[in-house]
Amino acid sequence: MRSLETIRKSLPRTALLRGQIQHAMLAALLTAGACSLLGDPETGLWGIGARNWACMTIAVALFHQSMVAVVWRLQLVFGVMSRLFGDRALRLWGAMFLPFLLARPLLLLAAGIADANSLGGLRELNLLIGALLVIVAG
């Protein structure tokens, strides 16, 4: 099995950006589509409207994914984190990565609570279907 150092030496420097233009374009299109579907309901949570909760959720997810794309790829291709921070690199990466990983489902939950009953129908049925979907996805 080849070592990480051997793999890094054999990688072209362009490997860092491979496929990223398509991902950026897809992210831009999906963000535009999602934002265009957002209504402007009167409901909210803690003084923040449902639309703003949804926009914060999307923004945090985009930032998190972009951070992963840049920082993690720089580490994999060039070993930047290890060279800059040595033994503390993984701990620093965790401090950068985990808050956003935790914030994403919490913001999504807040957006859902802020726009409760937007689906219409029986709330109990909506909750049951949502719980089943969470179990299937989990």
Q: Are 47 and 114 in contact (CB under 8 A)?
A: no
The answer to whether the beta carbons of residues 3 and 79 sit under 8 Å apart is no
pTM for this structure?
0.67
**In this structure, is residue 36 part of a structural domain?**
yes
Tell me if 58 sits within 8 A of 31, measured CB to CB: yes
- Look at residue 124 in the predicted model and tell me its pLDDT: 80
Structure tokens at 17: 């950006």
> CB-based burial of residue 15 (10 Å sphere; 0-12 exposed, 13-18 middle, 19+ buried)?
middle
Q: How many domains does the chain have?
A: 1
- Answer yes or no: is 113 within a domain: yes
Asked if residue 6 belongs to a domain, the reply is no
Q: What range does the domain containing 59 cover?
A: 19-137
CB 113 within 8 A of CB 50: no
Q: What is the pLDDT along the chain (138 residues), one digit of tens a residue?
A: 667 677 667 777 776 677 778 888 888 888 888 878 776 666 666 767 777 778 888 888 888 888 888 888 888 777 788 888 888 888 888 888 888 888 888 888 877 777 766 667 787 887 788 788 878 876
92-132 pLDDT per residue, tens? 888 888 888 888 888 888 777 777 666 677 878 877 887 88
Asked if the structure places residue 2 within a domain, the reply is no
pLDDT of residue 125: 85
Is 63 within the bounds of a domain? yes
Q: Report yes or no on 11 lying in a domain.
A: no
Structure confidence at residue 4 (pLDDT) = 66
Q: Note whether residue 86 is domain-resident.
A: yes
SS3 of residue 44 by DSSP: strand
- Please say whether the beta carbons of 93 and 71 come within 8 A: yes
Backbone angles phi, psi at 45, to 5 degrees: -145, 125
With respect to residue 9, please indicate whether it lies within any of the assigned structural domains: no
